[in-house]
Amino acid sequence: MLNKKHLLGIKDLSKEEIEEILNQAKVFKEVSQRQVKKTPALRGKTVVNLFFEPSTRTRISFELAAKRLSADVINVASQSSSLVKGESLIDTLQNIEALSCDIAIVRHTVAGTPHILAEHTHACVVNAGDGSNEHPTQGLLDMFTVKERLGTLQNLNVVIVGDILHSRVARSNVWGFLKFGCGITLCAPPTLIPRDIDEEQGVGVSYDLAGSLKKADVVIMLRIQRERQATHFFPSLREYVRYFSLNDTTAKALGKNTLVLHPGPVNWDTEISSSLKERLSPLILDQVTNGLAVRMAVLYLLSLRKEQKR
Amino acid sequence: MKKTRILDGKDLDIVIHRLAHQILEKNKSTKNLCFIGIQRRGVYLAERIKHIIERVEKAKIPFGVMDVTLYRDDLALSSVTPEARKTNLDFDINKKTVILVDDVLFTGRTIRAALDEIMDFGRPKSIQLVVLVDRGNRELPIKPDFTGKEITTSLKEHVKLHLRETDGKDELWLVREE
């Protein structure tokens, strides 16, 4: 049973809670394949998308998840809201709460924002990405994808490649996979690896892509933002691509059953060569489908718990 | 706790055969007929009844399974998250006569949920309800069309159907709490 009022991070979830979400997501993946893709589970509930950082894909995914559960959805995008007029974050949320929202989905550039909002609202708060801290539903959908394809999450070898330093997706995945006894290798140039990685926790660092890929069961490729080049995290994008991108040469190190995931959108010919597009796209698109199912599961379980506590 | 066995495997088999023939008698033919079994035991019962009818009529009947968990009205009352199973209706239910099968009819809320879920898939011509056991104590105005066995029960009693497929043996038990 999910024992949390909010979903703020995978760090706070127990292994059992993660498994419950994944099991429920399996059910909802099936619902999305029916002719009538709706269940009345959240009928009469109001879900608000509070996106203070621009997003299309995640917001649409959450919106669709809520609608398929028959909830009413409101979208608040920061640029078009009264935040521009100077209304404070908490005031915004409390104003929305006056309209009796049941669940607030929050994305913000500043880490910890969903946590603060959670203290000032009756609604359930779902973290859709806070700064570089966590993006729990992405971590959960990645785990769901792996579990679906490999049958288990226990003791796998997971390699995460890319801009680890700035990545909330990487952090959520690390917290998640560690709970299942997985070994994690972070692969990136030294400038993009956070300091103080605790090797004892099961997280290692490598600067050798091909070497890491050889033993990997799961590879998570992260987006490389071109702006990083301008801010001197690597000498040139070309050099980064040469050493850390997945291309025909480095892909030779992949095992036959190794999964390659990407949170999207993929910069083809940056972190992954477009020659691998045909081979790798199907799973990456499956992640999107799974994301919808996982978000439905999260909204459903949080709402259910709220009802039960009443 | 007191357990009484009401039906054994042989009795159950006879009841199921009787239900199959009653369904045929009412519907005259298998044209436009389809079966929907409610997870879990309704599915196995529906399969058995369907096989009997298919054998007699020498015709195939579309078969679907339905999980009603997400349509229940009492989700918040349980402290355990109910586990939802598969729903698979890979045929068109519009204009069909749906034979809806469940094992035990009690308050009627499961059937209410099943009716709502069926309606989300289309507009059947009619729905006929088959239950193995009607234990009374209805809370909603729901009535079966075909009943295997009627048992009057109190709220302190439980009716448990065991099937080969799920419990190893075919048996119907009445359990009374002390």
- A164 and A241 both lie in a single domain: yes
Band (B80; pLDDT cuts 50, 70, 90)? low
Among B2, B171, B34, smallest CA distance to B103 is for B171
In a domain, B81, yes or no: no
In a domain, B76, yes or no: no
A74 touches chain B (CB under 8 A): no
- A120 and A140 both lie in a single domain: no
The residue of A21, A30, A33 whose CB has the most chain B CBs within 10 angstroms, and thus the best one to mutate to test that interface, is A30
Residue of B nearest to A68 (CA): B70
pTM: 0.86
* In chain A, % of residues over pLDDT 90: 68
Write down the pLDDT at residue A1: 62
The residue of B36, B81, B85 whose CB has the most chain A CBs within 10 angstroms, and thus the best one to mutate to test that interface, is B81
In a domain, A77, yes or no: yes
Q: How many domains, chain B?
A: 1
CB contacts of A3 in chain B (<8 Å) are none
- A104 and A191 both lie in a single domain: no
- A102 and A17 both lie in a single domain: yes
Contact A36 B120 (CB under 8 A): yes
pLDDT in tens, A187-223: 999 999 988 777 767 899 999 999 999 999 999 999 9
The residue of B68, B69, B70 whose CB has the most chain A CBs within 10 angstroms, and thus the best one to mutate to test that interface, is B70
- A141 and A272 both lie in a single domain: yes
ipTM of the predicted assembly exceeds 0.85:
no
Start-end of H helices in B28-161:
41-57, 109-121
The pairing of strands B146-150 and B171-176 is unpaired
Q: How many domains, chain A?
A: 2
CA angle, A20 then A25 then A26, to 5°: 100
In a domain, A245, yes or no: yes
B128 is written with which tokens? Answer: 């006929």
Q: Is the pLDDT of residue A230 over 70?
A: no
- A144 and A187 both lie in a single domain: yes
- A116 and A160 both lie in a single domain: no
Contact A308 B76 (CB under 8 A): yes
Contact B75 A2 (CB under 8 A): no
CB contacts of A33 in chain B (<8 Å) are none
Q: What is the CATH number of the domain that holds A293?
A: 3.40.50.1370
What's the whole-number average pLDDT of chain A? Answer: 90
CB contacts of B75 in chain A (<8 Å) are 41, 304, 307
Of the candidates A1, A24, A30, the beta carbon closest to that of B80 is on: A1
pLDDT in tens, B3-42: 999 999 999 999 999 999 999 999 988 999 999 999 889 9
In a domain, B159, yes or no: no
In a domain, B171, yes or no: no
Among B24, B23, B48, B35, smallest CA distance to B161 is for B48
d(CA A168, CA A129): 7
Q: Give the residue numbers spanning the domain of B136.
A: 9-70+88-154
d(CA A218, CA A261): 8
Q: Kindly report the nearest CA distance between residue A22 and chain B, in angstroms.
A: 12
| Mean pLDDT computed over B141-158 | 95
In a domain, B2, yes or no: no
Q: Give the residue numbers spanning the domain of A215.
A: 136-281
CB contacts of A40 in chain B (<8 Å) are 70-71, 116
- A99 and A179 both lie in a single domain: no
Print the SS3 string covering A240-256. Answer: HHHHHCECCCHHHHCCC
Cis peptide bond prior to B144, omega within 30° of 0: no
Write down the pLDDT at residue B116: 93
Q: What is the CATH number of the domain that holds B27?
A: 3.40.50.2020
In a domain, A1, yes or no: no
pLDDT in tens, A290-301: 999 999 999 999
- A140 and A257 both lie in a single domain: yes
What's the whole-number average pLDDT of chain B? Answer: 92
SS3 A107: strand
B90 touches chain A (CB under 8 A): no
